[in-house]
Structure 1
């Protein structure tokens, strides 16, 4: 069995983890211009600013921390993230042969590797949503497999969140005020584009949704400029994030109840029609019988 560092790096920090305990300053600025982030802490998440719902990248490596537009940001995963795949059936879902070299952004921070997570902690978002959001992977464009998964403890079974080997869309529910990091595994070096949207039912009864493309340059030989210039050309399925969010929202029970009521009413009407027809048939037979 391959006793690689991957098996160690794919393990979560104890929960609650001090590194995940954060709050975001409402005054954090919006960065301008392009940036290549290849180390330090970054989070993907929704942001509500001046009434506009967007998906942005929170760059905590910058001092002070800033928000960045995904179109102007490339997450570069250097070869310091390379690890061999363990010879363990538990990792067969990666779709890679044991011993194959893959690039891993681990669930716990590793020096020299950009630490990618997500959060729902923007103060504007916290003030607008009541329960959470749905982060939806709608497509992946790149040279290899992409897998995002969580693993809790040395013996915990991996929980696959997103996988380019599965059909799209792939919704993931994220509670309000959440800050999470997972394992990101890339099967081959190259440029990757991930089409993502985030949808939420707002406290005022409306629905907010935004879409973006995350740009990643995997491997030292991959030029980040290629990621900046790449266009997502693969077909995208219709977004289904709203439905996923409703599945975790108590208000969705109202919709189900209405369906059940409609079915019950339909059945009652059908029974009434059958009774009327039966009574009419009985009357006709009575009228047709000769009087004794």
Structure 2
């Protein structure tokens, strides 16, 4: 029986199994959905499926650099404690190394680690450690020189915030300073040209509304907006921000002094954009005791 994408999707939604596991189960069971569910259970994947409904907003970001390519990956877990687990850290490190050979998170999910796909490795670790976890994001950066930095690293190359910086000219020391700046200040884009036009337009409208509340003439408001938008762009872009190492210089000016051109950057922080469910400590303990 031909296994369709819709069948794989249906089984994944029913069991929360990984894509490759769901497909394999359907192949093994000749498309029989109920049998495929049982197959997943017998392979020890049902435990992972039970965990999949929980919010995984903790975990680690790991970075790896080889030659002129750097990668950053985010692997999530339910609790911060797992991020300190050596077994989990070893898995995340292996995933980061595998990412050096691919370009997208979809490719990484099916990349090989010790004869298994990354998705299979993560699923098995869910069953071993007992928490929901998953590969969430990957970013790659190439350049003449790529420098990595991890803020508050829990072990070599991984922590809560991972940064990559690509340079032409300059050296590792300056690249690390820029990466530390990016970790701390979190610029939205490299330069004004890289800013999302819709974000800029929205900010402009907000500033115009604020200025009009003052009752000043439109001609005055237009001049006010020019200054405010110039400040917004400077504060939002890496090139325009005051360099944390030397606030008298912008990052762009500091790069020129260092004989470097910053050609790109990546910043990943664990849990960005994930809505966490707030629970008080007593409720969390009660839930754990009841599980």
> After TM superposition, is the score higher than 0.5?
no
- The two structures have a TM-score, normalised by structure 2, of 0.24
Whose helix proportion is higher, 1 or 2? 2
Larger Rg: 1
Q: Which is bigger in relative contact order (C-alpha 8 A, separation at least 6)?
A: 1
Whose strand proportion is higher, 1 or 2? 1
